[in-house]
Amino acid sequence: MTEPTVNNQIKDAVQTSTNWALGFATLNGGTPSSATRVSAGGVIAYDKATQAAALSVQDAADYQRNVMSISTTVQGKAMAMMLASEGKNDTALVAYVMALVSAFAAPIAAGLAAETVTKAVESFPRN
Does residue 83 lie within any of the structural domains? yes
Rounded Cα gap, residues 26 and 19, in angstroms? 9
Question: Is residue 127 included in any domain, yes or no?
Answer: no
Does residue 48 belong to any structural domain of this protein?
A: yes
Question: Does a structural domain hold residue 104?
Answer: yes
Distances (CA, A) of 126 to 7, 44, 95, 120: 35, 9, 48, 12
Give the CA distances from residue 68 to residues 9, 84, 102, in Å, rounded to whole numbers and listed in that order: 60, 24, 8
Would you say residue 54 lies in a domain?
Answer: yes
Q: Domain count of the chain?
A: 1
Checking DSSP bridges between strand 37-39 and strand 24-26, what pairing results, if any?
antiparallel
pLDDT tens, the chain, 127 aa long: 677 788 888 888 887 777 666 565 555 555 555 555 566 677 778 888 889 999 999 999 999 999 999 999 999 999 999 899 887 889 999 999 999 999 999 999 999 998 999 898 888 876 5
- The pTM is what? 0.62
Please report whether residue 11 resides in a domain. no
Domain that holds residue 111: 39-122
